[in-house]
Amino acid sequence: MLKRTRHLAREVHALCLAFGHKDTPLVAKIWVALALGYVFSPVDLVPDVIPVLGYLDDLLLLPLGVWVAVRLIPPAVMEECRARAEWSTPSRLLRVMGGAMVLFIWFGAMLAAGYGAWLVIGHFSG
């Protein structure tokens, strides 16, 4: 499963590179924009709170969108972008540092929310 996830992440990175490539057809660019827009969008067709179906749309639509996008892009362009994506894949240290930064930001946001709640509760209690 982890191997497939890494492969999908590399394909998404290659699609981002192909989006900016001069030889990528306009139809493929539009499809890539729609597929990647859905991936990064906070809005889902089926909300994730619905058991099973909420995640099923993500598990089906993302690979389907990537598959269609790859078919629309000329093979030579896709191979070049895959090679560039493989070469520019971040190192493990960079991924760990990025993850730590995300956790730090979330922790700071939770502290700020807690402090704000403490101020509001203190204001109304006395």
Domain locations in the chain? Answer: 2-89, 92-126
10-residue averages of pLDDT along the chain (126 residues): 76 88 93 82 74 77 86 94 80 73 92 91 75
> Is the torsion defined by CA of 17, 12, 62, 70 positive or negative?
positive
Cβ 50 vs Cβ 126: under 8 Å: no
Distance CA 85, CA 83 (A): 5
Count helices and strands (H / E) in the chain: 5, 0
Distance CA 47, CA 117 (A): 28
pLDDT of residue 92: 65
Distance CA 121, CA 116 (A): 9
pTM of whole model > 0.85?
no
